[in-house]
Amino acid sequence: MHFKYVVAIVRADVLGELEAMFGSLHVRGITVTKVMGFGEYTDFFSSNHLTEHIKVEIFVEESKAEAITNAIMDAAHSDVPGAGIVAVMPVETFLHIRTRSETLPDGA
C-alpha cells in the first residue's frame, strides 16, 4: 500500500465542516494544529497580518488522496484571500503504532 501526506492550511472556522467530510470519506485520523501565517494563507492586508489558521494533516492511502484534496477544497473554498492551500507529499513508510502495520483491525 502506498500512502500520501495531505497538508492543508485553512481558516480555523472550517474545521467542523472538514471533520464531517472526513467522516463521510472514512478517513481514519487527522491532526490539527493552530498556526499563524501571512500571505495567501491568511489576510496579507490585515494590520495584524499573523492571524490564526489551522494546519490539517492526514496520512491517506494513495487511492484516496485526490478525493480528499477535492473535498478539502470544497469545504474550505472562498473567493477572498486567505482561503488557504492544500498540498500532497510522498510518504515512504506509514505505520499504525497499535498494530505495527499499515492497517488497523476491521471495525476498529
Contact residues toward a copy of itself (CB under 8 A) are 3-5, 8-10, 19, 22, 27-42, 50, 53, 55, 57, 59, 69, 72-73, 76-81, 83-98, 100, 104, 108
Closest distance to a copy of itself from the beta carbon of 14 (Å): 10
19-27 contacts, C-beta under 8 A, 24 or more apart:
21/71, 21/72, 21/74, 21/75, 22/58, 22/68, 22/71, 25/64, 25/67, 25/68, 25/71, 27/58, 27/60, 27/64, 27/68
Closest distance to a copy of itself from the beta carbon of 40 (Å): 4
Closest distance to a copy of itself from the beta carbon of 72 (Å): 7
The rounded distance, in Å, linking the Cα atoms of 77 and 99 is 36
Closest distance to a copy of itself from the beta carbon of 71 (Å): 12
- Nearer CB in complex with a copy of itself: 63/78: 78
The rounded distance, in Å, linking the Cα atoms of 19 and 38 is 25
